Chains A and B, each alone.
Chain A
Amino acid sequence: MSIRKFEELIPCFLELININGAKKLSIQEMADELGVPLSDIETVMSVAQANELFTNDQDVLKITEKGKEALRIHREKYVHDRFIHRKRGIHRFLAKHKGKNSLDWHKHGLNNSNISNFYQNLEGIEGRIEEIIPLTQLRVGEKGIVQFMFGGRGKVQRLADMGLTPGAEIILNKKALLRGPIEIYIRNSCLAIGFGIAKRIFVKPIDS
């Protein structure tokens, strides 16, 4: 197993423990869930346990404070690199090979006062971060549950007032051409939302 893959697998594994809480999860189940061979899971588990990222109390896996911190960093980086500041072309190449990739939240409308709220949002996600997508990536006709909105207080409040509160169920009705607005069905009525706003609303798709 390469080091890169290994680094990626640890947070995925932590995500898995995190959502399942005190539920017993066999190694086989975890391997199936993550789509990796059994041996990989075993290696990851031993390394993570050595680093005190989780505790194993009679096969009940529990995430530690240190593990939570690692999880948060992973989630933050995941959201940033994948959805907020997606690097393309040469920038992506540079970011990968320069190694350190700084999280420039201030560029995206977050300041010191609301970054803690953002961390709270990340903690409050129901499920694995890998399941979360921006509203714009939902397919037409698909259902999703709102997890959090990313942005300043005023923008988030406006969306919440229109019914886009965490936990609300939405159906994507329509997508306009290119990076056009989308139309969603929420709380019994239809809302049109511009692309720029929709891409900062994060949802967890669910099977309808």
Chain B
Amino acid sequence: MENKKSLRIALAGNANVGKSVVFNQLTGLNQVTGNWPGKTVERAEGTLYYEGYTFNVLDLPGIYSLSAYSLEEVVSRDYIAIDRPDIIINVIDASNLERNLYFTVQLLELEAPVIMACNQMDFCSKKGICIDLEKLSNLLNIPVVGTTAISGIGISELISEVVSIAQGKTKIILKPPEYGVEIEKRIQNLKEKIQSNLPDLAELYPPRWLSIKLLEKDPIIVEKVQKLDNGNTVLELANKHVKEIEEIHGHISSVAIAAERYNIANRIAQKVQEFVKEPRLTFEEKLDTLTSHRIFGYPILIAIMAIMFAIVFVVGDFLIVVLEGIFYGALLPNLETFLIDAGLPPPIISIISRGILGGIVAGITIALPYIIPFYIILAFLEDTGYLPRAAFLMDNIMHKMGLHGKAFIPLILGYGCSVPACIGCRIMETDRERLIAGFVVVLIPCAARTVVILGLVARFVGFGWAMGLYLFNLILIFVLGRIAFKTVPGEPMGLIMEMPTYKRPSLKVMLIKTWNRSKDFVYIAFPLMVAGSLVIELLRLAGFLEIIGMVMSPIFVSWLGLPDFSAIPLVFGILRKELTLILLADVAGTTNFALVLTPVQMIVFALVSMIYIPCIATIGALLREYGGKRTAIIIIADIALAIILGGVAFRLLSLFL
């Protein structure tokens, strides 16, 4: 390679091997990490400056193969083959060599310049496996670096390896491993045919790789070849060879080739790894047996969810009392007297103190106390590896909604924020499942809606009622999911998921993750809160508030039984869901909601804001993932549902409360 100053690097490898951790270490960015397969659904890009070099690093989604049967795989292989990054760092899980090498073999087949980062070396030695990295490097003909990315070990060696390739000191030999003689003979045969008949295509993709793909009957490559002039002569030879391979192996050619590839991976793995001692994983194994137990797993799952909300509520409630004491007891009154002393006219004082500061203070005192503990617990669940267990347990129930267990992961993430959950629905394999999952995921009460439910219902009506709302929400999701399953045409897919081992989460990583998510929340939500408070304050001063209340009163007062001032917060809640509560405090003039709302009204208010349109950011995510028409249907369905259920709830609850 010539001495270039700017290089493109791609991180590729199986799901859940630590690509994103390596990425974060290289670029200093904060790509989401966790212990479950499928976190990285979008390509993330970052830059690393080192000794005068600029490295543009790309984090590809985790895949197990480069076949044509999933979108991520096709995108990744086209990126590697056509865009040709200067270096590919193949991140592998050292404790799971065979499966990871299967992917490495495919990368080598693509004749890509590969460096291997043998990651999770610490975990590997915990499992009692010793790996001979030098031997591995010799067998694969590529540089291999051992890393423990989570604690930053081996990252500098990885970078210097990249630099030495950039400087041309290390030459990468493109020599893909060979198959068994029966298949290899036919690959070579076909390769010659491709080189002489399809020179253009052989320019774009490596000819040996093309022959393998034709022997695998890869639909995309076969179609490409078919379109070309001499394509049919090549396909004829390919089909002849496919028949021969199938006769020899007794299985379809692509499976026979996969088996051969696994043989190569197995052979290499056997040569380089040694089981030196018994694995020290008894605790993790016990935990796994218990949490995914066919009977005890379910009460544990329910208990974890209940404890999660209880902790969020107790911690949040405590923080709210403390913060309210500070802000409303001391800061705000002092500030107001200070402003009056400064001689400002009353309307301006009211705009500053109630509009601008009111929004910020309400955000700090009402929203953050619930959101931060919530994010910490979510990070804990993500990093330990509990989420795949929950997916395993819920597979059965999710099938009733035409989804499979994996969809439970975005569903739980939805309790954090609907936007990543919505994008996270991409871990589902087909378009149809993504749609159903996206539809139900936005109905999950996100952290912002949790603020409303806990801050209003749990604090002023009772924790049991708040839990009741969550339970009702789950039942609603199940019913709606089932309806969607029956209406959206298509065949349901099944679950295939790698189960990661439990890992002890690092407190530092969890806190950093919480910090980043909270930061995003503050940056996006606080300006909206201030703007919202400001607009409402201006409307109030201009006397429009009553008019809006009157216009909306048929729905809000007559049907939902809410006071007329509650219309504004609910409408503004489109911007951010917790705004409904914060603006409610604004229009009511107090954060002690018991003074202005009856228990029934609080429950109805929380129910409506829980179900109706997801916030603007979620609408944006929906638009991007599903397009305008489907988004519109989801929005209209949600609004109608919220209004209908709110009215019904008002009438039913009035009988009891």
Contact = CB atoms under 8 A, between A and B. Distances in A.
Contact of A165 (B95, B250, B259, B395): B259
A191 B494 contact: no
Contact of B404 (A165, A187, A189, A194): A194
A117 B404 contact: no
B262 A168 contact: yes
Interface residues of A, number: 42
Nearest to B388: A192
A193 B64 CA distance: 15
A154 interface: yes
Contacts of B496: 158-159, 162, 191-194, 197
Most chain B beta-carbon contacts within 10 A, residue among A123, A148, A179, A181: A181
Interface string B461-503: 0000000000000000000000000000000101111110100
Contacts of A190: 498-499, 501
A169 to B, nearest CB: 11
Contacts, number: 141
Interface in A134-175: 148-149, 153-154, 156-163, 165-168, 174-175
B254 interface: yes
A191 B255 contact: no
A114 interface: yes
A90 interface: no
Contacts of A178: 396
A149 B494 CA distance: 14
B69 A120 contact: no
Contact of A163 (B98, B217, B249, B395): B98
A1 B499 CA distance: 52
A183 interface: yes
A176 interface: yes
A60 B89 CA distance: 58
Contact of A157 (B95, B250, B255, B396): B255
Nearest to B497: A192
A196 interface: yes
B336 interface: no
B84 interface: no
A168 B99 CA distance: 12
Contact of A123 (B250, B266, B497): B250
Contacts of A165: 255, 258-259, 262
Contacts of A123: 250
A157 to B, nearest CB: 5
A144 to B, nearest CB: 16
Contacts of A161: 64-65, 67, 102, 258
A166 B255 contact: yes
A39 interface: no
A192 B495 contact: yes
Most chain A beta-carbon contacts within 10 A, residue among B64, B399, B494: B494
B67 A157 contact: yes
Contacts of B251: 117, 120-121, 124, 148, 166
B393 interface: yes
Contact of B259 (A114, A160, A189, A197): A160
Interface string A49-75: 000000000000000000000000000
A181 B405 contact: yes
B255 A188 contact: no
Interface string B290-309: 00101101000000000000
Contacts of A168: 259, 262
Contact of A189 (B99, B262, B391): B99
Interface string B248-284: 0111101100110010001000000000000000000
B266 to A, nearest CB: 8
B246 interface: yes
Nearest to A120: B250
A176 B392 contact: yes
A177 interface: yes
14 contacts: A121-B251, A124-B251, A156-B252, A157-B69, A162-B64, A162-B99, A168-B262, A176-B393, A177-B294, A189-B498, A189-B499, A190-B501, A191-B499, A194-B395
Given A174-B292, A193-B494, A194-B399, 6 more contacts: A157-B69, A165-B258, A191-B497, A192-B499, A194-B496, A197-B495
